[in-house]
């Protein structure tokens, strides 16, 4: 390549990183308030989003990162989720006794890592991006550092996260040993010839990712971390990290290790089924709202893995994963925003019984949460149903009808715990003396918009489905 280097594929990450520095410096020098920080962060994220949407070239920076429709889909989803998360977090930042500059800076840095994951076309970039994302998240979980349960969450997350990074790195090393290259495309040649080195590498690689997406049996960290972290951080993790991790997993599977799919797909199919069962049965036993959502996110990782299992060489299956992950992120953000939007007797609802009789007090918010729970259960008319339908269709098309059977039966199980919230909100009377307040600010709006999108995509999903299909097909 002559002359200028095409940096357009990393430009969004650079813009977000600059915004992160700006937020940090604004705290150090101008002592800017939360609203100024939020403005800078939002502007940075919007700028990056604009760059993503207008980007024409698929410039590859020496083969380490790529633009293109697949990256675009992921980057745009991550940035939109990040903007929402910034507004959600800043609604609560003062109550949480967190330094807003540090908090938003870390959040933006983790977005830089996620964007890297979404675009990485090569193993070392992928690993570096993963670490940028994870380290920032470990620190986010620990905030504020005075609260012991936050410390606990952060330590647990850090240790298991480091563990999984080690697996991933080992997998990369083995794949490099087998192929002599770190780019996914050139790995695939060596990998598709099989051989113990390549297969071991693929296995370790997958295990590392399964840790990150919270698939069983590597899910143990997620309930503790979800419960321990501040709700806005949990919302951010539950939505954005899943997009980045599944996006990267999809690319690795499509480009690098797809050639030996016969040797690992049955294992991933087993993991998918196991994850659905563990996640849903685990959620049945939860009384803490955030733990419930944590187990539910484990279950959803299982559903999404069934799309990976159903991947064929035209991108079918992967498009279902992309559609599901973006809609799941929106719905899940809405559900967490609900927790942030309401106060019961002055504090955030913690256990499911705190929602008792809520529909009497605020019917519209209750209806919106119900809609999102319906979507998470996978009942029409909602985006969640369309997404599950596509995922299971992919699994059945690939000949894995068993996964689809486990999936639909587990969805019926999930109806039990999601509906329990609906029962509590609608069919039981409020406790004596319980007072519900709705926060002013962004959170109720986010709930509304998330519910509207969840419903709208349930009725007319074709545009997003088409985008996801084009994005997935562009990898092949």
Partner 1 sequence: MGILSLLIFLPLAGALVLALGRGMSDGLAKRIALGLTLAIFGISLSLLTQLPGFEISANYRFVENLGWMNQWGIRYHLGIDGISLWLILLSTLLTPIALLGSWTSIEERVREFNIFMLVLEAAMIGVFCALDLFLFYVFWEAMLIPMYFLIGIFGHGRRIYAAVKFFLYTMAGSALMLVAFLVLYRESGLQTFDLPTLLAGTHLDPSLQMWLFLAFALAFAIKVPMFPFHTWLPDAHGEAPTAGSVILASVMLKMGGYGFLRLAIPLFPVAAVACAPVIGLLAVIGIVYGALVSLVQPDLKKLVAYSSVSHLGFVMLGIAALSPMSVVGATYQMLNHGISTGALFLMVGMLYERRHTRLISEFGGLKNVMPRFAAVFLLVCLSSIAVPGFNGFIGEFLILVGSFSFSPVLVIFSTLGVILSAAYILWMNQRVMLGEVTNPKNANLPDLNPREWLTLLPLVFLSLFMGVFSSTFTASIEPPVLKIIQDARIKSFTTAPVILPPAAAIEPHGPVREEPKTEEPAPHQPAAVEGAHP
Binding site for partner 1 (CB under 8 A): 363, 367, 374, 379-381, 385, 389-390, 392-393, 396-397, 401, 404-405, 408-409, 411-412, 415-416, 419, 423, 426-428, 460-462, 465-466, 469
Measured from the CB atom, is 160 or 327 closer to partner 1? Answer: 327
Measured from the CB atom, is 371 or 443 closer to partner 1? Answer: 371
User: What is the Cα–Cα distance from 67 to 471, expressed in whole angstroms?
Assistant: 11
* Shortest Å, Cβ 83 to partner 1: 28
Rounded to whole angstroms, what are the CA distances from 419 to 31, 380, 411? 46, 15, 12
Residues contacting residue 324 through CB under 8 Å, at least 6 positions apart: 300, 303, 304, 307, 387, 388, 390, 391
CB neighbourhood size of 4 (10 A): 7
| Residue 172 · residue 123 · CB < 8 Å | yes
User: What is the Cα–Cα distance from 341 to 329, expressed in whole angstroms?
Assistant: 18
3-state secondary structure at position 394? helix
Residues paired with residue 431 on neighbouring β-strands, in sequence order: none
Measured from the CB atom, is 173 or 452 closer to partner 1? Answer: 452
* Shortest Å, Cβ 269 to partner 1: 15
Dmax (CA) for the chain in angstroms is: 74
Measured from the CB atom, is 113 or 384 closer to partner 1? Answer: 384
Q: 174: part of which helix (H) or strand (E)?
A: helix 148-179
* Shortest Å, Cβ 164 to partner 1: 32
Q: Is the dihedral of CA 192, 193, 198, 204 positive or negative?
A: positive
Measured from the CB atom, is 344 or 420 closer to partner 1? Answer: 420
Measured from the CB atom, is 109 or 392 closer to partner 1? Answer: 392
- Peptide bond connecting 57 to the previous residue in cis, omega within 30 degrees of 0: no
* Shortest Å, Cβ 288 to partner 1: 21
Residues paired with residue 65 on neighbouring β-strands, in sequence order: 120
Measured from the CB atom, is 14 or 408 closer to partner 1? Answer: 408
Q: Is the dihedral of CA 357, 359, 360, 362 positive or negative?
A: positive
CB neighbourhood size of 263 (10 A): 15
* Shortest Å, Cβ 408 to partner 1: 4
Query: For residue 198, how many C-alpha atoms fall within 13 Å in the half-sphere facing its CB?
Result: 24
* Shortest Å, Cβ 179 to partner 1: 35
* Shortest Å, Cβ 44 to partner 1: 36
3-state secondary structure at position 331? helix
Give per-residue burial for 82-114: e unless 16+ CB within 10 Å, then b: bbbbbbbbbbbbeebebebbbbbbbbbbbbbbb
| Residue 304 · residue 324 · CB < 8 Å | yes
Measured from the CB atom, is 173 or 379 closer to partner 1? Answer: 379
| Residue 473 · residue 391 · CB < 8 Å | no
* Shortest Å, Cβ 370 to partner 1: 9
Measured from the CB atom, is 88 or 457 closer to partner 1? Answer: 457
* Shortest Å, Cβ 393 to partner 1: 5
At residue 365, what are phi and psi to the nearest 5 degrees?
A: -65, -40
* Shortest Å, Cβ 380 to partner 1: 4
Measured from the CB atom, is 220 or 473 closer to partner 1? Answer: 473
* Shortest Å, Cβ 363 to partner 1: 8
Measured from the CB atom, is 6 or 428 closer to partner 1? Answer: 428
């Amino acid at each position: 390549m002559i002359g200028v280097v095409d940096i357009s594929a990393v430009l969004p990450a650079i813009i977000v990183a600059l915004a992160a520095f700006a937020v940090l410096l604004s705290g150090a020098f101008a002592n800017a308030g939360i609203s100024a920080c939020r403005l800078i962060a939002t502007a940075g994220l919007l700028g990056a989003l604009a760059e993503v949407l207008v980007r024409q070239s698929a410039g590859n920076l020496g083969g380490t990162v790529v633009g293109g429709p697949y990256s675009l889909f992921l980057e745009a989803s991550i940035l939109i989720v990040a903007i929402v998360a910034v507004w959600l977090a800043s609604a609560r930042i003062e109550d949480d006794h967190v330094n807003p500059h540090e908090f938003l800076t870390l959040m933006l840095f983790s977005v830089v890592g996620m964007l890297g994951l979404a675009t990485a076309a090569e193993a070392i970039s992928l690993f570096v991006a993963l670490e940028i994302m994870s380290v920032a998240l470990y620190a986010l979980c620990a905030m504020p550092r005075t609260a012991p349960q936050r410390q606990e969450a952060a330590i647990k997350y850090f240790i298991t996260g480091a563990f999984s990074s080690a697996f991933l790195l080992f997998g990369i090393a083995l794949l490099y040993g087998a192929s002599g290259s770190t780019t996914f495309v050139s790995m695939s040649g060596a990998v598709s010839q099989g051989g113990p080195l390549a297969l071991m590498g693929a296995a370790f690689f997958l295990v590392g990712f399964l840790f990150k997406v919270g698939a069983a049996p590597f899910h143990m960290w997620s309930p503790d971390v979800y419960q321990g972290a501040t709700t806005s951080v949990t919302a951010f993790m539950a939505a954005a990290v899943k997009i980045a991790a599944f996006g990267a997993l999809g690319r690795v599977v499509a480009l690098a290790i797809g050639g030996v799919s016969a040797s690992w797909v049955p294992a991933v199919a087993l993991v998918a089924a196991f994850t659905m069962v563990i996640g849903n049965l685990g959620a049945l036993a939860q009384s803490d709202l955030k733990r419930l959502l944590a187990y539910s996110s484990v279950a959803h990782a299982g559903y999404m893995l069934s799309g990976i299992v159903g991947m064929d060489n035209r991108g079918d299956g992967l498009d279902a994963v992309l559609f599901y992950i973006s809609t799941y992120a929106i719905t899940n953000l809405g559900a967490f925003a609900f927790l942030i939007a309401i106060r019961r007797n002055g504090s955030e609802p913690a256990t499911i019984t705190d929602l008792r009789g809520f529909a009497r007090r605020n019917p519209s918010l209750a209806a919106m949460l119900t809609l999102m729970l319906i979507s998470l259960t996978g009942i029409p008319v909602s985006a969640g149903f369309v997404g599950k339908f596509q995922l299971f269709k992919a699994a059945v098309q690939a000949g894995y009808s068993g996964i689809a059977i486990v999936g639909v039966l587990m969805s019926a199980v999930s109806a039990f715990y999601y509906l329990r919230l609906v029962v509590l909100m609608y069919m039981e009377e409020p406790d004596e003396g319980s007072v519900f307040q709705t926060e002013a600010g962004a959170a109720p709006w986010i709930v509304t918009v998330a519910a509207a999108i969840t419903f709208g995509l349930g009725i007319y999903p074709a545009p997003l489905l088409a985008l996801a299909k084009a994005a997935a097909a562009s990898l092949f």
